[in-house]
Amino acid sequence: MTAVIRDPVKRFDRLYNFREIGGLKTHDGRRMKSGVLFRSDELSQLSGKDLEKLKQLNLKSICDLRSSGERKSKPDRFPHNQGTNMVHVPIQDISRIDFLKWLAGKSGSIDFNKLIKDFYRRMAFECTAQINQVITLISDERNLPVLIHCKGGKDRTGYISALIQLLVGVPYQTVLEEYMLSNDLIGPRMKKIERYIRWMTLFQISSDRMKPLLEVRREYLDEIYGDILKKYGSVEEYLRVACGLNQRCISNLQQNLLE
């Protein structure tokens, strides 16, 4: 194991999946800068102490990957008038149709593992404009430091964070360990969500069947990374061809994040 498995930079009262993506070594011996790139779950339940801790990061941008509906139901508590650029890059979570199936008593027909894998494929190959927007944001040093977040901070944020690390040259095994760290940080909270969903579905779904929804798994990242390499040969080529990023943007991002 590498030094990735470590405590988050700061502990929060009501922010459960926060961490810095810094200090990671690259293939060529360089290192990702500290204090530049952060990731977390939603900012809708922040305590007063949490807000003060976030302000200490001097964030220039906060990039919210949640859908418009998610933002409306649970708006961020971070003040929008503090000089921080609030950027909305919506990536729809698993479909409302699937959620309605749970409530309608049709959860027995859902393969949750396949559901999440299909969601990752949609992110990778149908949300390319959103990926372009996030990478472009980070490629401009005036937007840094930046915090990227979604609802749980594990899938949408986890995938894009992995892309960024791979783009700057962090070895895949290190990226995978950083991705899997979400399970350690939000495991206790996911147990509460598990109980709530089971109650909402009249306990038709067993805990084991629900696990794919409530954790990150190596196979999720392995399979989509394998698909990208098979189709494009590298993450950089995927970002150029599929996501429409130019070389200047890619080079600027690498310069901004590496030391």
Provide the CA 98 distance to its chain's centre, in angstroms: 21
Question: Tell me: the pLDDT tens digits for 52-98?
Answer: 999 999 999 999 999 999 999 999 999 877 789 999 999 988 755 55
Q: Please check the confidence at residue 8 and state whether its pLDDT lies above 60.
A: no
Question: Tell me: the pLDDT tens digits for 224-233?
Answer: 999 999 999 9
What are the structural domain ranges in the chain? Answer: 19-257
Give the strand pairing for 85-88 and 61-64. Answer: parallel
Cis preceding linkage at 188, omega within 30:
no
CA 98 – CA 122 distance, rounded (Å): 15
pLDDT for 112 = 83
Looking at 58-206, which runs of residues are DSSP E strands?
A: 61-64, 85-88, 146-149
The model's pTM: 0.91
Mean pLDDT of 236-241: 99
CATH class, range 19-257: alpha beta
CA 11 – CA 13 distance, rounded (Å): 7
Q: Please check the confidence at residue 139 and state whether its pLDDT lies above 60.
A: yes
